[in-house]
């Protein structure tokens, strides 16, 4: 629950960053400055993703690993592998 609150707060901040980037584009801000702000927003989203993944691992993954259903364990582990693969895809 604490992680969810932390992720929500970060998303509010990111929302402000995105509005700022939109404003920069409307005002024809220097391209490099815009790119730096985009990179900052991407990094902030990466942190939100990390928070959500940690919460998932401490709740859903732990439940699946401790549970009796091997199919559920495999499903949860496969999901994490898929998310990791998508995140590292270039």
List, for residues 50-63, the tens digit of each pLDDT value: 999 999 988 988 99
Strands, E assignment, 1-90: none
Domains and CATH numbers, the chain: 2-88 (1.20.58.1000)
42 Cα distance to chain centroid: 9
CA distance 64 to 79: 12
- Reply yes or no on whether the pLDDT at 88 is more than 90: no
Average pLDDT over residues 60-76: 91
Cα 12 from Cα 74, distance rounded (Å): 34
């Amino acid at each position: 629950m604490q992680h969810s609150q932390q992720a929500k707060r970060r998303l509010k901040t990111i929302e402000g960053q995105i509005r700022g980037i939109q404003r920069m584009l409307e005002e024809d801000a220097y391209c490099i400055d815009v790119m730096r702000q985009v990179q900052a927003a991407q990094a902030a989203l990466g942190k939100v993703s990390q928070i959500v993944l940690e919460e998932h691992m401490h709740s859903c993954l732990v439940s699946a690993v401790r549970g009796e259903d091997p199919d559920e364990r495999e499903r949860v582990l496969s999901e994490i592998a898929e998310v990791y693969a998508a995140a590292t895809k270039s």
